[in-house]
Structure 1
Amino acid sequence: MGTDYQRAREELGRRLRELRVECPDGRLTGVQLAQRLGWQQSKVSKLENGRQTPTDEDLSAWARATGQPATFAELRARLKGFESHIRSWRRQLAAGHGPVQDAWNTLVANSRTMHAISNAAISGMLQTADYARYVFERHAALQNAPRDTEDAVRARMKRQEWLYRPGKKLNLLMHESVLSARICPPEVLAAQLDRLLGVVGMDTVCMGILPLDAPLRLSLGNSFTMLDERLVVVEDWHAELWLDDAETIALYRRVWDTFAESAVYGAEAQRVIARVRRSIRDDGS
């Protein structure tokens, strides 16, 4: 797990080790501390080496057992910092987009529902292969990442198989401006819009479009995806933010619900998409 989150967990582990070594009653071994806590020694080792995330109760017990109860506030503050896991694109894309897409495939496969807002590009769950190809190539150029476009496209297309499995549900909102954004040639965009027209009415997809003239109760922000209301992934230029604390997840769900009230669905959504599609044809595609 080569992420900023893992490094933060390892730093917390080093701090726990310091407290054990600097115990006012004299240095404790891992075995001795485990005996005081009534734990398996392996748990002490995992926590100190960043291979297990402690709970508040673990940290409180550790602080008391090492004779330094006042350090609990510091330890808990470090733990709360795990609520925001910053996964920088520089590190994620060191081996290209393919491994990132594979990781997302696993994340999505283990989810039953998704709530997403796409304000920058067509959602990856509904992209055509040609559209995805342009997205990957341009982001690889921006991040100076390895060009493994075809591997990334294949992985993204494989993820879309999720849409055809019973019991799954994609709840997606997109602003109309995303539909007309020329991040690919007109003919590719036209085919992409045809794809969107075809998914309206699918049992596993609830797609809402925010028309340009729709009254909005909030300003448009970053794109994000919520998985089973257990994790929110927010996209930014430098990184993805993985947010898993309950209060933050509830906030993003309120954001989604607020925009959902301004969206159009079904036949109305098709009319908006078709209007944008015609404008591309009128431009000569």
Structure 2
Amino acid sequence: MAESPSSSAQQARRILADRLAGLARDAGLTGRELAVRCGWHHSKSSRIMNARTPPSTGDIRAWCRACGAEDQTADLLASLRSAEGMWTGWRRMEQAGLKQAQEARLPLFERTRRFRSYSSWFVPGLIQTRGYTEAVLRAVQRRRVEVDDVAEAVAARMERQRVLYEGGRRFAFLVEEPVLRNGIGGTDVLVGQLGHLLTVGSLPNVSLGVIPTSAERSRMPVEGFWIFDSDRTNVELVSGYLTLTQPSEVAMYADTFAELAEMAVYGVDARALIVAALDSLR
């Protein structure tokens, strides 16, 4: 797995910084000389080349002009957009409220045909009940979002769930057994949610696996993640939202999902764990 939540994004920034530093070297320019040509303080060149400060689009254009490498501008700008898109802090993503953040993901769900989801924290959004979703998003709003549009955000997430019932899609959900007992929203909400899992788990295009707490583990619980087809992984962390599109990184999460899937139980055995959790609540 990644060394830290945003290590993949940081690596992309490091690669971009190294490319910019290489242009300066190829042009025979020191950081000070490049700063003079670009019209900024010499320390800025150093910060950019050492990946301490991310360049802006204007910085990259000025840098390429100073190095006589304007033919590299478009490619470097594409690398910048990719690095910026990898890591998004929750504050930035949710600054306009939770509804917009929910709606922004809908096109991704609509174009995906194979979904894989692992959660060690809570029930994945696509198979949440309205009450469970409201409890989750209300907790998020109270903790970090000034705008209170929870009702609208819940409606947006419920709308997204239609992809479960539209043809041509396959879903594989893995949850750790403690997810069945986490108490989000209180007893009544959790009872409704567990009953919904029994229903959703019977859909022909859905695989629902539960990893028992008693399972002999070859892989410890990790952060929750989604794999969309085979070309994108999204990871939800305490500090932000990570998007991975590099094939090697997506493959790492796919391998992790496969290892976790081998520890899970399905069908009758998964239903037995869900029913046991229901019985403990009743």
Can you give the 5+ residue segments of structure 2 that lack an aligned partner in the other structure?
1-8, 17-53
Can you give the 5+ residue segments of structure 1 that lack an aligned partner in the other structure?
38-43, 55-77
Evaluate the alpha carbon distance shift between residue 84 and residue 102 of structure 1 in structure 2; reply closer, same or farther with a 3 A threshold: closer
| SS of corresponding position for 1:146 | coil
Superposed CA offset, 1:186-227 (max 9, x none): 011001000001112212211100111111111101000010
Q: How does 1:168-183 map to 2 (within 5 A)?
A: 168-183=169-184
Do the aligned residues in 2 keep the contact of 1:186 with 1:280 (CA within 8 Å)? yes
Superposition RMSD on alpha carbons, in Å?
2.4
Q: TM-score, normalised by structure 1?
A: 0.75
Counterparts of 1:234 and 1:278, CA distance in 2? 32
Evaluate the alpha carbon distance shift between residue 211 and residue 84 of structure 1 in structure 2; reply closer, same or farther with a 3 A threshold: farther
Do the aligned residues in 2 keep the contact of 1:128 with 1:192 (CA within 8 Å)? yes
The residue that corresponds to 2:86 in the other structure is: 85
Counterparts of 1:253 and 1:216, CA distance in 2? 17
Q: TM-score, normalised by structure 2?
A: 0.76
Counterparts of 1:273 and 1:157, CA distance in 2? 22
Mapped pair 1:269 → 2:270: yes
Q: In structure 1, what residue type is equivalent to 2:62?
A: E
List structure 1 segments (4+ residues) > 6 angstroms apart after TM superposition.
Answer: none
Range with greater deviation from structure 2 (81-90 or 196-205):
81-90
Counterparts of 1:179 and 1:200, CA distance in 2? 14
Superposed CA offset, 1:252-271 (max 9, x none): 00000000001011111111
Evaluate the alpha carbon distance shift between residue 194 and residue 216 of structure 1 in structure 2; reply closer, same or farther with a 3 A threshold: same
Do the aligned residues in 2 keep the contact of 1:84 with 1:244 (CA within 8 Å)? no
The residue that corresponds to 1:17 in the other structure is: 61
Mapped pair 1:158 → 2:159: yes
Do the aligned residues in 2 keep the contact of 1:13 with 1:47 (CA within 8 Å)? no
Counterparts of 1:142 and 1:101, CA distance in 2? 17
The residue that corresponds to 1:199 in the other structure is: 200
Superposed CA offset, 1:128-180 (max 9, x none): 00110010010111113311111111111111100101110111100110010
Do the aligned residues in 1 keep the contact of 2:97 with 2:145 (CA within 8 Å)? no
Mapped pair 1:231 → 2:275: no
Mapped pair 1:116 → 2:160: no
Counterparts of 2:125 and 2:139, CA distance in 1? 15
Aligned residues: 232
The residue that corresponds to 1:104 in the other structure is: 105
Q: In structure 2, what residue type is equivalent to 1:234?
A: V
Evaluate the alpha carbon distance shift between residue 157 and residue 11 of structure 1 in structure 2; reply closer, same or farther with a 3 A threshold: same
Do the aligned residues in 1 keep the contact of 2:95 with 2:145 (CA within 8 Å)? no
